[in-house]
A and B are shown apart, each in its own frame.
Chain A
Amino acid sequence: MAEPLLTVRNLRVEFPTRKGTLVAVDDISLSIAPGEVLGVVGESGAGKSMTGAAIIGLIEPPGRVASGEILLDGRRIDNLSYDEMRKIRGKEIGAIFQDPLTSLNPLYRVSRQLVETIMTHLDLTVKQARARALDLLKEVGIPAAEERLDHYPHQFSGGMRQRVVIALALCAEPRLIIADEPTTALDVSIQAQIITLLKRLCSEHQTAIMLVTHDMGVIAETADRVAVMYAGRIAEIGPVQDVIKRARHPYTEGLMGAIPTIGGRHELLTQIDGSMPRLTAIPEGCAFHPRCPQAHFKCHTVRPDLIGDASHSASCWLMERQASGSVGADAGQEGGR
């Protein structure tokens, strides 16, 4: 793998509350290489958006990065001041959010929003910036871009608005884009267009993309590698094909079985009973153990870290047994459940 563009080491995001400290992101490590799409998938509350927000320094107080480090191209960015971070945000790291209607200012023409962003980050005249804005709209596939440039956001449809948001994220040619549920608010046919667009940008500009979504189908189509998150931790991380076809963590396995597929039989779906724990009540040991069909004694008490090889690993004690090749290692303690 090429030298990673983004490295996150042991990131921990905390929210102090009156009832004690909530840990939204717990000891997460990942990296993204230039031109690579890392998918981050999980259910609501798994901490996937919070990881993205931590990377671009947009965690709302009282939330804070409690420990760990975030490196962009070898340079630490988690301890920068507000003003320093502002220079990086938009220029080095672009962001695309879920709802294209709330990420555009409804009172300004699209041209003004693009030109403003371009001139903040690049040393261009208004005229040059406007020309660049037009190029960007063309690049993201907006028809009749000359005419559309001076429209207001409400004059665009949902899919076109999301293209404008992508154009905004691309203004300063960032090397990393954090895309948080970029297609969730869109219809399938439009979603397919946006996925194609993101993939093209990624290969043409060698942009690294962190794609946060709850939709495994989108990940399968777009990402090179995927991190599955559960209750603030990475449950499994690896090449997307491996994770989908040879899931190692029981949660990933259950998640795959729970997705209805076309062509599959109309029988019952695999069901993971219960729901993800709230942040106030994360169980001891492996956070997944109350829902896990294969949980054994150790899972109730000791929290597993990622186990496996460099490319594909899972935080599950079953991996340890597979790795050591002996099922009997803690067989004596089994059978509790």
Chain B
Amino acid sequence: MTDALLKVDNLVRHFDVSPPWLNRVIERRPKSVVKAVDGIGFEIGRGETFSLVGESGCGKSTVARLVVGLYNPTAGTLEFDGIDISSGAARARNRGAQRRMQMIFQDPYASLNPRWRVTDIVAEPIRFNKLVSGDAAIRVRVGELLEQVGLSAADGEKYPHEFSGGQRQRVSIARALAGSPEFLVCDEPTSALDVSVQAQILNLMKKLQRELGLTYLFISHDLAVVYHVSTKVGVMYLGRLVEWGETEVIFNAPRHPYTRMLLDAIPDLDMSGRARTPVAGEVPSPIDPPSGCAFHPRCPLATDRCRSEAPKPVSVGAAMVACHAVEENRLPEWHG
């Protein structure tokens, strides 16, 4: 294993969604808490792409926001290159570490200020971090960044609305690169784009990773995209990682029944006519998750133990899996 750039340990983030105090008292309703992220841990090695995949509401975007510090964790630790960044105070002490990570958001229509010229958008992190001094030098640097992401330096004079979705996403990548980061958190960077444009952006991200030695935390719901970009994959379900490990292992020999269900559900371009397990049920509410293993109401292999006791992750081969069926060795063969 390469040395870890980001270490996440037992990360927890709860959101209080209780009704107001008066309602609680009068209607005798209890406090309610969404356990968006409920104890997850993983490491990302330098130069790797670690992807988190899962259905809506599984907490993957919350993890992204926790890592860059847009939320503070309820519990658990985050360590970036050996520096503790678990709390706002720790981040404030280590502004240098903060600069070394940047984020790319899903919607390029909402993440760029429509009243700013692209030059100013891209220059903001440079000015903020005082990386380059002098307007002329900043302008040159912005031009370089725009060319690096496949735009032209002259595009800096334009406003975001003059660009298509794919070009806007290039602008947000240029902005992320402006802080000279080592680590990029990408929250569904291509979900709002058409396939041909998605291919351009994925190729660009790969090119930049090679050239600049970037490390990515990649969040997506699209398994095919995840397979394509990542070295490691973590599958999330209701705030927990159910299975994580090398991409090839997770996709070719998935063990957790949820991972298998997801892989089975993807429409198949080859039309091999393979028999697929019918997908049952939906993701339950994270406010009141099922007891034991959160996946048990949808799991074909659930037993009484699954209903009462939450499984602990165990190492199987090159992957980590949290499933009683795997532990008890009663997992059917995967059709592959």
Of A193, A215, A258, A272, most B-chain CB atoms within 10 Å: A258
Partner of B195, one of A43, A189, A191, A273: A43
- Is the beta-carbon distance between B276 and A260 smaller than 8 angstroms? no
Chain B proximity of A231: nearest CB distance (Å): 13
Chain B proximity of A252: nearest CB distance (Å): 11
A266 to B224, CA, bound (A): 11
Q: Which residues of A contact B225 (CB under 8 A)?
A: 260
Q: Which residues of A contact B164 (CB under 8 A)?
A: 275
Q: Which residues of A contact B203 (CB under 8 A)?
A: 268-269, 271
- Is the beta-carbon distance between A270 and B199 smaller than 8 angstroms? yes
A263 to B268, CA, bound (A): 11
- Is the beta-carbon distance between B228 and A269 smaller than 8 angstroms? yes
Partner of A269, one of B167, B202, B221, B282: B202
- Is the beta-carbon distance between B55 and A187 smaller than 8 angstroms? yes
CB contacts under 8 Å to B, within A166-187, are 187
Name B276's closest neighbour in chain A (CB-CB). A192
Q: Which residues of A contact B199 (CB under 8 A)?
A: 257-260, 269-272
- Is the beta-carbon distance between B282 and A255 smaller than 8 angstroms? no
Of B265, B269, B278, most A-chain CB atoms within 10 Å: B269
SS class of chain A's interface: helix, strand, loop or mixed?
A: helix
Partner of B269, one of A222, A261, A269: A261
Instruction: Check: B73 CB closer than 8 A to any chain A CB.
Output: no
CB contacts under 8 Å to A, within B252-282, are 261-271, 276, 278-279, 282
Instruction: Check: A1 CB closer than 8 A to any chain B CB.
Output: no
A44 to B167, CA, bound (A): 15
Q: Which residues of A contact B269 (CB under 8 A)?
A: 216-217, 220, 244, 256, 259, 261
CB contacts under 8 Å to A, within B196-215, are 196-200, 202-203, 206
| Chain A: number of interface residues, binned into ranges | 35 or more
Instruction: Check: B283 CB closer than 8 A to any chain A CB.
Output: yes
Instruction: Check: B42 CB closer than 8 A to any chain A CB.
Output: no
Chain B proximity of A211: nearest CB distance (Å): 12
With A217-B268, A254-B196 in contact, is A264–B279 under 8 Å at CB?
no
Instruction: Check: B157 CB closer than 8 A to any chain A CB.
Output: no
Interface size, chain B (Cβ < 8 Å): 42
A156 to B276, CA, bound (A): 26
Chain B proximity of A140: nearest CB distance (Å): 15
Partner of A189, one of B196, B228, B247, B261: B261
Partner of A271, one of B165, B194, B200, B223: B200
Q: Which residues of B contact A159 (CB under 8 A)?
A: 282
Instruction: Check: A190 CB closer than 8 A to any chain B CB.
Output: yes
Q: Which residues of A contact B266 (CB under 8 A)?
A: 188, 192, 217, 262
- Is the beta-carbon distance between B194 and A192 smaller than 8 angstroms? no
A222 to B267, CA, bound (A): 9
Chain A proximity of B230: nearest CB distance (Å): 9
Partner of A255, one of B196, B262, B278: B196
A80 to B62, CA, bound (A): 52
Known A217-B268, A221-B267; further 17 A-B contacts with Cβ < 8 A: A158-B56, A188-B221, A188-B266, A189-B279, A191-B267, A196-B278, A216-B269, A217-B224, A218-B267, A220-B269, A221-B268, A256-B269, A261-B224, A262-B266, A263-B251, A272-B200, A275-B197
Interface of A toward B, CB cutoff 8 Å: 43-44, 157-160, 187-193, 195-196, 214-218, 220-222, 240-241, 244, 254-264, 266, 268-273, 275-276
23 pairs, A vs B, C-beta closer than 8 Å? A43-B195, A158-B56, A188-B266, A189-B261, A189-B282, A195-B267, A215-B267, A216-B269, A257-B199, A259-B224, A260-B225, A260-B227, A260-B228, A260-B229, A262-B251, A262-B263, A266-B227, A266-B229, A266-B247, A269-B203, A271-B196, A272-B196, A275-B197
